[in-house]
Structure 1
């Protein structure tokens, strides 16, 4: 960390004029962030209806060549809500939603929100056992599947607890052409045609603690956990980003390629345009080469990001028209300090609304003061405490209390659990309790363990340092080491595996690496078969980039936990080990053995991971 990143009083005071100019928005957002009234109607459905009233004929959503006004989008969501209610779905039920980024995904979530139904946002990369787990975990009463995911669902449909109520959305403009539903599915576009376009009364029956959607997170162990994201949390993000931090207006257009099964896209980006009744420009997938072309084509003034996205854009060859865009604000998380200022200068960006939050967490930071190299400021009660990485636990003093770090120091980030900052937890109460530290600074207090190492840089600002425990972040996604280990151990020829994240120079996050013990010599092992198996069973970002072949039993602690710290330090460096190491290079279809030359090419950034 550079000492220049420390926030001083003069630095803070220099930002006051900028903050004061948005004082009404900050006050409104702050009030919304502190809502505790459980009887006040609120949430996503009401926000869509409010934006429709403010700007009925303004563009709500642009996707490729489709443009929907707020009036059109709201009416479509109402028809879908009316139909789902007519077949018996009601407040408190859950619907599994598996659709890639396109208007049908947003209209489905909007319809569910208006009914008080919880939309389980399935990660569209999931396949096989992981997909079965994610479906069955939330006990859905229905499933809404996009045409692009039907094949993945059909492969595992026999293992799903849900047998009926499978609905279909074609992979096209379903307002114009409903497409043909496959056998065993009802075509939603056809079914809702004659339903009511009026706002349902149920829109005003969602309250602070009512579930809005499930977002799946790797958490720290095991298969994905379904995190309850309720209407109250959405309302707080709507206030915090829509009114306080991002500060767009009705003429602004925010472009996002981020997957909407994650909160950065679904919550932060969408809330940022709903508050001023601006426009969301949605892309199906990220393209580094086509990104700015899309921005210019649609006249976008803002975009949502994760750190990897910015790195990919920054690695594109410089062009004379790099600053030929209308973008003034970007919002997201993970922009690396090493490229932060260069990125802003190159593309002419005024404001980076970096944020820190997690789907399940109760503590959040936002860069409202527009400082460089920080996740920003947090108004809620948090603590950064000293952490012993060797013992994998926070340090406690002689009285048994945890110890806060000093300015400039890093430690484990905790969020205090209070009425104003509750921890809603997971579907599994045991997993919820494991995420809570008790008696931290005084008897009876409770704090949420974020699992993240953060640095205190002063005046309630922080920097993200790293992820702890059995989860690492790669390609903007959290990867559960336990989940990958379970999949690896299920392949014939692998006796045992231990998975961890390792750093590759000039990349963001940590790439997956697995130490594996085989039943044969590695020269005889079926690496091609393993690759095909991993591509079937795991999302692309969770497939290990490196395999370290271990001939002996794995090294463990006294409590039989794998010794990962040493492995992380040695990573794929052949100079630090005698093991054979294999790598899955970008665009390669199989692992190849690493040698000194290929290691140097990776370290020199010749491969784009």
Structure 2
């Protein structure tokens, strides 16, 4: 019966909302209770329980805390002061979380650096973090060494593993550090409004930006998901997302560790190993981004995909076409999709599982949510304002920009970026009344009559590929450094069966241009997710009257050789850039070609 279905849906929604609000209602910016205190409370309650497993090694809560305490005393031993920053540049490993947890106990900020970065982008992140030192391992140390000459000042390098030259041996240094908690007096004047972490985001243009994650925001992430997921002591969460991102590093860990559960951590995601490991490890939940789910669906069927104990998958970016397949083929009882931005103040949950929706704010609860959609002019990339100078709210079915009202409570605060000018650019003033301030997410969405929100697209030049935001301006600047490239226009194009948009570059080149040399340069200069999958050689770039490069016609042409005159290339996983012929095109659009 429709009435009963609606009643059950509302019950699920309110149950999830109340669980979440219950966990976050006591968070306050002026509190002396920090994120490390939340974690310490969980440690004290669950000391002997399993906390985390990684590559065959398992830590209890007490052992995890002991490692964190060693890092706290190590930081004190090298004279790190409250408010200083340590850059953490490593892939997922067992020590990753204890490092920043331990440093937060002495008031030190940890900058979580994307371990896929290299060269100029890596140096940029290290420079803006103002780090006092950097922690690396055997995998990332050579990458850091290659970028050292681009740093604004020398940065001491502490390495897990054998140290060479000026490197400092972190493993040896930790052996003499106490496993007991540091005295709380070292952080007695720190408040929850102070910075705990720096998490880097591409934003909408330019190089990555450092988002300030205060203790309040970290608590909202971790406590919020501890409540939203309904996780229990018996839950074990499969985490294959990078810990330098908030989704894996805060949301998933909070759901597990603040409830006495455990984490099975992987260095990186593997679709072929996923279900077997989920079964062997007894996982009951996993965290996703949309692309991860598509990889699972594209795998050949196997018996482990229905032998597991997974009761919930939670994450963001799950496409509507994949959603029912995930639930039915893999027999996952519940999917919890959410929306949030690292630096912003907008968060939503789809508690009752409406397929395709990223969250919900029903009309009868509007006052409890700070989120709205405003009508938006895509061409000028500005909010539409009425004759009174105020913005116009988008109605049901209308596409608008998602914004979040900035207020004084923990849930509506806006901490922004390290760069104050970049932070201010994301603030809209005088939106619905004179003097109000709203955070502009840069995301276009639409709502329906029931208050569900649906993601449409990012505003501007940024597109998403392989779970990462790719700035077209940044990629174009790097491509212009390749021999023979005179002009570059970078944009995203859709590829059937793939999440997000793949990078494509329209290039104006000189006679010295060589596609193989260009391909080698792309690999050297850009992380894998930012490397253009397609390249088109153009006689000239078409521009607007204000000298902005036109992209829409190029996006419409895509990479179809039937529409395009001139050289056209596809980045083959094994052979590098190859010409797109009719047969190559067919392999791409039918999913035969490996992306």
Cα distance, 1:37 vs. partner?
Answer: 4.1
In the alignment, structure 1 residue 28 sits paired with structure 2 residue 22: yes
Q: Which residue of 2 aligns with 1:148?
A: 139
Q: Which residue of 2 aligns with 1:464?
A: 455
Q: Provide the rounded CA distance (Å) in 2 between the counterparts of 1:106 and 1:85.
A: 18
Check the 8 A contact 2:239/2:265 in 1, yes or no.
yes
In the alignment, structure 1 residue 562 sits paired with structure 2 residue 546: no
In the alignment, structure 1 residue 127 sits paired with structure 2 residue 127: no
Q: Which residue of 2 aligns with 1:42?
A: 34
Q: Which residue of 2 aligns with 1:173?
A: none
Cα distance, 1:410 vs. partner?
Answer: 2.1
Check the 8 A contact 2:82/2:187 in 1, yes or no.
no
Cα gap change, 1:225/1:337 in structure 2, threshold over 3 Å: closer, same or farther? same
Check the 8 A contact 2:20/2:225 in 1, yes or no.
no
Local SS of the residue matching 2:314: strand
Q: Which residue of 2 aligns with 1:402?
A: 391
Question: Which residue, out of 365, 373, 376, partners 1:387?
Answer: 376
Cα distance, 1:429 vs. partner?
Answer: 1.9
Q: Which residue of 1 aligns with 2:355?
A: 372
Local SS of the residue matching 2:313: strand
Local SS of the residue matching 1:386: strand
Local SS of the residue matching 2:136: strand
Cα gap change, 1:557/1:164 in structure 2, threshold over 3 Å: closer, same or farther? closer
Q: Which residue of 2 aligns with 1:414?
A: 403
Cα distance, 1:191 vs. partner?
Answer: 1.1
Cα gap change, 1:203/1:47 in structure 2, threshold over 3 Å: closer, same or farther? farther
Q: Which residue of 2 aligns with 1:176?
A: none
Cα distance, 1:251 vs. partner?
Answer: 1.4
Check the 8 A contact 1:142/1:162 in 2, yes or no.
no
Q: Which residue of 2 aligns with 1:311?
A: 294
Q: Which residue of 2 aligns with 1:196?
A: 178
Local SS of the residue matching 1:129: helix
Cα distance, 1:434 vs. partner?
Answer: 1.6
Local SS of the residue matching 2:272: coil
Cα gap change, 1:423/1:19 in structure 2, threshold over 3 Å: closer, same or farther? closer
Question: Which residue, out of 599, 602, 608, partners 2:585?
Answer: 599
Cα gap change, 1:205/1:46 in structure 2, threshold over 3 Å: closer, same or farther? farther
Cα gap change, 1:488/1:354 in structure 2, threshold over 3 Å: closer, same or farther? same
Task: After TM superposition, list the pairs within 5 Å mapping 1:201-600 onto structure 2.
Answer: 201=184, 202=186, 206-243=190-227, 245-378=228-361, 379-420=368-409, 421-520=412-511, 525-552=513-540, 554-585=541-572, 587-600=573-586
Q: Which runs of 5+ in 2 are unaligned?
A: 362-367
Cα distance, 1:16 vs. partner?
Answer: 4.0
Q: Provide the rounded CA distance (Å) in 2 between the counterparts of 1:437 and 1:79.
A: 44
Cα gap change, 1:23/1:604 in structure 2, threshold over 3 Å: closer, same or farther? closer
Check the 8 A contact 1:475/1:541 in 2, yes or no.
yes
Q: Which residue of 2 aligns with 1:3?
A: none
Q: Provide the rounded CA distance (Å) in 2 between the counterparts of 1:454 and 1:490.
A: 36
Local SS of the residue matching 2:105: helix
Cα gap change, 1:208/1:558 in structure 2, threshold over 3 Å: closer, same or farther? farther
Check the 8 A contact 2:428/2:440 in 1, yes or no.
yes
Check the 8 A contact 1:37/1:208 in 2, yes or no.
yes
Check the 8 A contact 2:20/2:226 in 1, yes or no.
no
- Bigger relative contact order, structure 1 or 2, given CA contacts below 8 A and separation 6+? 1
Q: Provide the rounded CA distance (Å) in 1 between the counterparts of 2:167 and 2:12.
A: 53
Q: Provide the rounded CA distance (Å) in 2 between the counterparts of 1:528 and 1:493.
A: 12
Q: Provide the rounded CA distance (Å) in 1 between the counterparts of 2:360 and 2:293.
A: 22
Check the 8 A contact 1:59/1:278 in 2, yes or no.
yes
Local SS of the residue matching 1:534: helix
Per mean C-alpha deviation after superposition, the further-off stretch among 278-287 and 460-469 is 460-469
Local SS of the residue matching 2:295: helix
Cα distance, 1:203 vs. partner?
Answer: 6.3
Per mean C-alpha deviation after superposition, the further-off stretch among 381-390 and 279-288 is 381-390
Check the 8 A contact 2:67/2:95 in 1, yes or no.
no
Check the 8 A contact 1:41/1:205 in 2, yes or no.
no
Check the 8 A contact 2:537/2:566 in 1, yes or no.
yes
Check the 8 A contact 1:95/1:117 in 2, yes or no.
yes
Q: Provide the rounded CA distance (Å) in 1 between the counterparts of 2:544 and 2:446.
A: 28
Cα gap change, 1:9/1:525 in structure 2, threshold over 3 Å: closer, same or farther? farther
TM-score of the two chains, using structure 1 as the length reference: 0.92
Check the 8 A contact 1:139/1:162 in 2, yes or no.
no
In the alignment, structure 1 residue 14 sits paired with structure 2 residue 19: no
Cα gap change, 1:293/1:162 in structure 2, threshold over 3 Å: closer, same or farther? farther
Check the 8 A contact 1:126/1:537 in 2, yes or no.
no
Cα distance, 1:394 vs. partner?
Answer: 2.5
Q: Provide the rounded CA distance (Å) in 2 between the counterparts of 1:422 and 1:602.
A: 45
Check the 8 A contact 1:104/1:169 in 2, yes or no.
no
Per mean C-alpha deviation after superposition, the further-off stretch among 410-419 and 155-164 is 155-164
Check the 8 A contact 1:369/1:376 in 2, yes or no.
no
Q: Provide the rounded CA distance (Å) in 2 between the counterparts of 1:502 and 1:23.
A: 37
Local SS of the residue matching 2:125: helix
